[in-house]
């Protein structure tokens, strides 16, 4: 079993990073060999490393055709499948691939299945469905590295950085997820566990840091082109340079005829579309006159311990109106409507008066022994938050949604988002969308705040950026 390691000591023992900057070569390759990258995002947080790319919440054929025609290197498609049952996720992915093939009209494309950097989600179901829909699997690339969240892979083991320690992912609260839990941090064994033994750990191919840092893209490309059809390949990475070398090698392998379906966190997506995380947005970038005199709204649905600590700091540092939705009440029909109505009334009064508001769920986790029931509980809670957002009576100065499912449902059902543009990041790993004209508040800066990103002060720091007197 993997054990925690001192981060500084572990990183100091690694070989020096690859000496060349591969981003220009990636950009040149993309210009010479156009191949639209479709990023199937199982919650909205996958946009946390890029800027200027569109996000679709509807993927009918005409919408996909429109995106094929524009010059963006990639396009995000919000599936929100981490909040769905396996059957619903399977059906959704099958329909998307059918629509994509029809919309492509012979044009080349690549599919990335973007998921959680702490290894939660419907794997291998989603990559299997994509592979089957595209005529059979070739290679599946697993790349969960995500620096802004402290997710690193070294010696083929995935870690979460906490207080200077690299904690094996399976030893963190994320691995005890009620639906997507796991017991292995060593990624070949994790693949075997998640595939129920269909792929054995000994058959998993590993891109080591020695290979990446000493052989560069050519060595990565050779490893990928020589891999047997149907192989699962995991990559180590502790820097953006590492993941850019892998992206450059993947492009070379694709050009040589290999078909890759990547199951990755956000950092690989950024490299694969030829970007690096842009400079952080300032308050001036995000605050618009239309809502400047009103209060801002933060909606918190995530229940992970990190979010609870961030909520406590938000309430301690800012003078705001805090409204709690008791999850137990939301699950009882008689109490549900009264609880939601009271929250809406209190919220609208405060926003109109220029007061910032946080609407949050109670912090005690309500769970069942059944995976389907747990998803149902999550859906009920999310629907309550959606009802609150739908009832906002004035344009808020900002809107922050905390948690993957919360931010997805708030966007699509609460605000009516069909297409948005990623404006950038407010904090490392925290994306901001500019809402489209079809939404409840066109042009609003919408902050998609992952449940598992940032230190205890992160949400409070984000709110501070929207304070006209202190934003920077």
CATH of the domain at 148: 3.40.50.10840
pLDDT tens column, 4-35: 899 999 999 999 999 999 999 999 999 998 89
Question: Does the structure show a pLDDT above 70 at 103?
Answer: yes
Question: Does the structure show a pLDDT above 80 at 470?
Answer: no
Q: CA angle at residue 285 from 53 to 359, to 5 degrees?
A: 90
The whole-number pLDDT of residue 371 equals 60
152 & 9 share domain: yes
- Segments forming the whole domain that contains residue 339: 283-465
Question: Does the structure show a pLDDT above 90 at 306?
Answer: no
330 & 430 share domain: yes
pLDDT tens column, 165-186: 999 999 998 999 888 999 999 9
Question: Does the structure show a pLDDT above 80 at 366?
Answer: no
Based on the structure, what is the number of domains in the chain? 2
235 & 360 share domain: no
Question: Does the structure show a pLDDT above 90 at 124?
Answer: yes
The whole-number pLDDT of residue 136 equals 77
pLDDT tens column, 420-466: 999 999 999 999 999 999 999 999 999 999 887 889 999 999 999 99
247 & 376 share domain: no
470 lies in some domain: no
243 & 333 share domain: no
| Percent share of the chain, pLDDT over 70 | 96
CATH code (residue 295): 3.40.980.20
Asked which of 216, 251, 272 is the last residue of a domain, the reply is 272
Question: Does the structure show a pLDDT above 70 at 324?
Answer: yes
d(CA 84, CA 107): 30
Q: CA angle at residue 108 from 103 to 114, to 5 degrees?
A: 85
Asked which of 243, 272, 301 is the last residue of a domain, the reply is 272
pLDDT band at 394 (very low <50, low <70, confident <90, very high): very high
207 & 310 share domain: no
pTM to 2 decimal places: 0.90
471 lies in some domain: no
231 & 309 share domain: no
Asked which of 217, 251, 272 is the last residue of a domain, the reply is 272
299 lies in some domain: yes
The whole-number pLDDT of residue 3 equals 86
pLDDT band at 292 (very low <50, low <70, confident <90, very high): confident
- Give the highest mean pLDDT range of 126-140, 155-169, 357-371: 155-169
Which position has the higher pLDDT, 199 or 371? Answer: 199
Q: What is the DSSP letter of 411?
A: I
Q: Nearest-CA neighbor of 136 among 230, 255, 223, 199?
A: 230
238 & 288 share domain: no
Average pLDDT, stretch 68-90? 93
232 & 351 share domain: no
387 lies in some domain: yes
Please name the helix (run of DSSP H) or strand (run of DSSP E) that holds residue 333, with its range, or none.
helix 333-352
d(CA 12, CA 2): 19
78 lies in some domain: yes
Name beta bridge partners: 141.
Answer: 233, 262
The whole-number pLDDT of residue 471 equals 44
Question: Does the structure show a pLDDT above 90 at 340?
Answer: yes
Please name the helix (run of DSSP H) or strand (run of DSSP E) that holds residue 179, with its range, or none.
none
End-to-end CA distance of the chain: 45
pLDDT tens column, 242-271: 999 999 999 999 999 999 999 999 999 999
Of 130-134, 135-139, 159-163, least confident by mean pLDDT is 135-139
458 lies in some domain: yes
Handedness of CA 275, 32, 39, 110 (dihedral sign): negative
**Contact assessment for residue 39 and residue 59, using Cβ atoms and an 8 Å cutoff:** no
Q: Nearest-CA neighbor of 265 among 158, 118, 154?
A: 118
The whole-number pLDDT of residue 382 equals 81
The whole-number pLDDT of residue 368 equals 54
119 & 211 share domain: yes
278 lies in some domain: no
Average pLDDT, stretch 33-44? 93
pLDDT band at 339 (very low <50, low <70, confident <90, very high): very high
218 lies in some domain: yes
Dihedral angle over CA of 101, 133, 82, 190, nearest 10: -140
454 & 385 share domain: yes
| Percent share of the chain, pLDDT over 90 | 78
Average pLDDT of the residues of the chain:
92
203 & 328 share domain: no
Of 259-263, 377-381, 385-389, least confident by mean pLDDT is 377-381
Count CA within 13 A, CB hemisphere, residue 420: 30
């Amino acid at each position: 079993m993997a054990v925690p390691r001192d981060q500084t000591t572990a990183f100091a023992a690694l070989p020096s990073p690859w000496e060349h900057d591969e981003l220009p070569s990636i950009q040149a390759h993309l210009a010479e060999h156009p191949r639209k990258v479709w990023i199937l995002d199982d919650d909205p947080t996958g946009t946390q490393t890029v800027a200027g790319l569109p996000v679709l919440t509807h993927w009918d054929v005409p919408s996909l055709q429109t995106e094929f025609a524009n010059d963006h290197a990639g396009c995000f498609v919000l599936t929100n499948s981490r909040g769905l049952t396996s059957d619903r996720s399977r059906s959704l992915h099958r329909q998307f691939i059918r629509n994509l093939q029809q919309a492509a009209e012979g044009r080349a494309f690549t599919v990335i299945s973007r998921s959680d950097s702490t290894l939660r989600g419907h794997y291998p179901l989603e990559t299997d469905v994509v592979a089957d829909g595209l005529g059979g699997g070739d290679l599946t690339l697993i790349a969960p590295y995500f620096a802004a969240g402290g997710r690193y892979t070294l010696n083929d083991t995935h870690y979460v950085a906490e207080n200077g320690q690299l904690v094996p992912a399976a030893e963190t609260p994320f691995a005890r997820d009620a639906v997507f839990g796991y017991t292995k941090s060593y990624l070949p064994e994790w693949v075997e566990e998640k595939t129920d033994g269909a792929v054995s750990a000994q058959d998993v191919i590993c891109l080591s840091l020695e290979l990446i840092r000493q052989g560069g893209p050519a060595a990565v490309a050779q490893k990928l082109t020589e891999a047997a059809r149907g192989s699962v390949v995991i990559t180590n990475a502790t820097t953006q340079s590492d993941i850019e070398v892998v992206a450059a090698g993947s492009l070379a392998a694709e050009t040589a005829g290999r078909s890759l379906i990547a199951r990755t966190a956000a950092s690989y997506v950024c490299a694969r579309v030829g970007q690096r995380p842009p400079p952080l947005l300032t308050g001036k970038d995000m605050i618009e006159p239309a809502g400047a005199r009103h209060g801002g709204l933060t909606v918190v649905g995530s229940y992970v311990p990190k979010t609870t600590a961030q909520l406590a700091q938000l309430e301690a540092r800012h003078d705001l109106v805090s409204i709690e939705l008791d999850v137990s009440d939301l699950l009882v029909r008689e109490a549900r409507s009264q609880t939601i109505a009271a929250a809406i009334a209190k919220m609208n009064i405060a926003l109109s008066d220029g007061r910032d508001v946080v609407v949050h769920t109670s912090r005690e986790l309500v769970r069942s022994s059944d995976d389907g029931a747990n998803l149902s509980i999550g859906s009920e809670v999310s629907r309550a938050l959606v009802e609150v957002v739908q009832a906002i009576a004035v344009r808020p100065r900002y809107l922050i949604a905390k948690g993957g499912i919360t931010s997805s449902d708030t966007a699509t059902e609460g605000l009516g988002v069909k297409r948005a543009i990623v404006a950038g990041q407010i904090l490392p790993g925290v994306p901001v969308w500019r809402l489209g004209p079809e939404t409840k508040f066109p042009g609003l800066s919408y902050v998609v705040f992952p449940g598992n990103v940032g230190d205890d002060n992160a949400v409070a720091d984000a709110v501070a950026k929207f304070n006209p007197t202190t934003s920077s």
